Amino acid sequence: MTKVKVGIIGLGYNGRQHAVAHTVSNKSELVALCDRDEHKLHIVGKELGVRNLYRNYDEIMADSRVQAVSIHTPDGHHKEPFLKALKAKKHILVEKPLANTEEDLVEMVRAVEKEESSLKIEVGYILRFNPVFEKIRELVHSQELGQIFYMESDYVHNLLHKKNATDPITGNNWHLQDQIPMVSGGSHCLDLLRWIKGNNPTSVFSYSNHLAFPELSSDDCMASIFKFQDETVAKVITLWAPECPRDPFFNLRIYGTNGTIERDQFCIGKKMAEQRSEFKPIEAQRIKGHPYDPEIDDWLTAIIEDTNVRTNLKDGANSNMATLCAVKAAREGKEVIIPVFK
């Protein structure tokens, strides 16, 4: 089988994990790395045996050996390498969120529409590859839970340690300056609900505050209520500085007329008032951390076999846009209608 020749852009934690995964994949060959930190670039290059090392986007895009690029730059800095990769005719895997502003998001989507190319573009909503969530989606789509009327998923994660993550090259801390909790973390949760339900939110209202993580440029606490096309109501909460461990399975809860999901358990109604339903574990593999390998394999398979990726550009853009609208709703103190990319 022909292997896809891949280049990694951005060697932070996620970028390194993806780079390592490509070194053991039977569908790809890691041929290039790109990062503005020259010291980090050479260390990772030596560790992984990669000789083609680049400090800027133009250099890696000009390398004809690179057929596909995996973009792992900081939040708010995906647009430039994305557009350059598109122009250079490279297949693209890009981390979520695609963009931190509606304007950048629309520009990226319109650029792909204008190209009308056969490039395979996948957005990195990695929770879609967790075996438990895959099984939950099967249960929902099988109608075993009946009609879904309420959902929730929360990104409750203590990230106070990020206040010390200053970039040695720029002297800036992008975590504090660029990350928007609802867009960065909350979009994982909203995307999970969209994917499981197979439906888009149409409007959102939010409340937020900025009390627990004052160093962060954006509000660190936000609660958003989404209304979906089929009248389903959904809640997403983002907390960036709680004094507690991360919520197991993102506090996922799905309520249907015939059954309920709570995190990694489910129950199906007995249809008899005198009998109470009991929760049972979802029959699926429990994994630690994020499932990078199946996400990467999905992208590579699409490139090699010309199949569809699990999270295409407009699919990922719709999750991104919904959370941008949630932030706007909190800022303006009113319900915001969510545009949908079709």
pLDDT of residue 272: 55
Exposure string over 59-94, b if 16+ CB within 10 A, otherwise e? ebbebeebbbbbbbbbbbbbbebbbbbbebebbbbb
- Sketch the domain layout of the chain as residue ranges: 4-126+292-310, 128-287+320-337
Q: What is the pLDDT of residues 181-240, one digit of tens each?
A: 999 999 999 999 999 999 999 999 999 999 999 999 999 999 999 999 999 999 999 999
Q: According to the model, what pLDDT value does residue 289 have? A: 85
CATH domain 4-126+292-310 topology? Rossmann fold (3.40.50)
pTM, two decimals, is: 0.95
Q: What confidence tens digit (pLDDT) does each residue in 279-337 have? A: 999 999 999 889 999 999 999 999 999 999 999 999 999 999 999 999 999 999 999 99
The domain defined by 128-287+320-337 folds into Dihydrodipicolinate Reductase; domain 2 (3.30.360)
* pLDDT, tens only, 122-149: 999 999 999 999 999 999 999 999 999 9
Q: Is the pLDDT of residue 275 over 70?
A: no
